[in-house]
């Protein structure tokens, strides 16, 4: 099982971006995405230039959210699009043919559509209500096992996941998870990831 971490500027300052990226990569996150919804493309480019070498140094794939040109200009490993953020093939091309292209999905039907358009992985959620996506209804755990059964590409369950509910997410059939707010707001990111990994692998 993999932990996909997101550098979400809704929870981080620009000044703490590099140090947090280092902690996440060194701590055991297997993928790292940069998401900065309220910043300009130029600002995100500068952030990506700071984060990409950190990811590369740890061998962690670096994903850029929403901005294919930023991905191209920083040699990112991947691009991630929301459900309404355009054509995945166009984004992959504009991102310099990144080896990874992901799509956020909120139902089995959207997940299958993303697979059919060539997504290398999907985000599936939000499983629980989350302040990261205010106003979006939680989809619950009922379809987790089924979406895993139908898709051969990696499915990353996302949305309100933390150490308190992670075991039930795994029990519902999740094979990979995205953890955002609780991870970024923890006092010890490395310890948090290790705790999550023990739950994911059943060694806690």
Tell me the CA distances in angstroms from 166 to 37, 46, 144, 162, 202, one per residue in order: 26, 34, 13, 6, 11
Give tens-digit pLDDT for 86-134.
899 999 999 998 899 999 999 999 999 999 999 999 999 999 987 777 7
Collapse the DSSP code of 53 into the 3-class scheme (helix H, G, I; strand E, B; otherwise coil) and give the result: helix
The answer to whether residues 41 and 67 touch, using CB atoms and an 8 Å cutoff, is yes
Catalytic site residues? Answer: 35, 104, 133
Q: What is the CA radius of gyration of the chain?
A: 16
- List the helix and strand counts (H, then E) for the chain: 9, 8
Q: Is 38 exposed, middle or buried (0-12, 13-18, 19+ CB in 10 A)?
A: exposed
pTM score, two decimals?
A: 0.95
* The pair of three-digit structure tokens given for residue 137, joined into one six-digit string: 């209804």
Q: Indicate the range of 77-91, 131-145, 175-189 predicted with least confidence.
A: 131-145
Residues 6+ positions from 55 with CB-CB distance below 8 Å: 21, 25, 32, 61, 62, 77
CATH-assigned architecture of domain 2-201: Alpha-Beta Barrel (3.20)
């Amino acid at each position: 099982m993999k932990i996909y971490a997101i550098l979400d500027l809704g929870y981080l300052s620009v000044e703490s971006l590099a140090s947090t990226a280092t902690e996440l990569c060194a701590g055991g996150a297997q993928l790292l995405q940069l998401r900065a919804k309220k910043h300009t493309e130029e600002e995100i480019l500068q952030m990506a230039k700071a984060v990409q070498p950190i990811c590369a140094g740890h061998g962690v794939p670096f994903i850029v959210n929403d901005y294919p040109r930023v991905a191209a200009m920083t040699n990112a490993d991947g691009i991630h699009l929301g459900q309404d953020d355009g054509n995945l093939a166009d984004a992959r091309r504009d991102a310099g043919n990144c080896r990874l292209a992901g799509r956020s999905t909120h139902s089995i039907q959207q997940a299958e559509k993303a697979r059919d358009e060539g997504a290398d992985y999907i985000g599936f959620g939000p499983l629980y209500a989350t302040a990261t996506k205010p106003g979006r209804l939680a989809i619950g755990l009922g379809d987790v096992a089924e979406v895993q059964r139908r898709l051969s590409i990696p499915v990353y369950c996302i949305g309100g996941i933390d150490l308190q509910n992670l075991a039930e997410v795994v029990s519902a059939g999740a094979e990979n998870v995205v953890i955002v707010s609780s991870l970024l707001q923890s006092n010890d990111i490395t310890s948090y990831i290790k705790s999550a990994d023990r739950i994911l692998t059943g060694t806690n």
